[in-house]
Amino acid sequence: MDDETIEVETMTVACDGGSGPLGHPNVYLHLDDDTHEAVCPYCSKKFVLKEGAQVAAGH
């Protein structure tokens, strides 16, 4: 179990697990509107919105 936390600057991220045993088909994840976090269901990587990143509001 190694869970990585990855900072991203957009509310939608793509994850393919990277190289190695955790690799998986490319999937798109949408960060939670409130927590600004998402966890990949395949490899358990955690994506968080980078502090100060612009979140499109009102869309």
- Which residues of the chain form contacts with Zn ion (CB under 5 A)? 15, 17, 40, 42-43, 45
* CB nearer to Zn ion: pick between 41 and 54: 41
Cβ at position 37, least distance to Zn ion in Å: 14
Contact 42, 24 (CB under 8 A): yes
Question: C-alpha angle 16/27/35, rounded to 5°?
Answer: 105
Smallest gap from residue 58 Cβ to Zn ion (A): 30
CA nearest to 20, candidates 42, 49, 46: 42
CB of 26 to Zn ion, least distance (A): 9
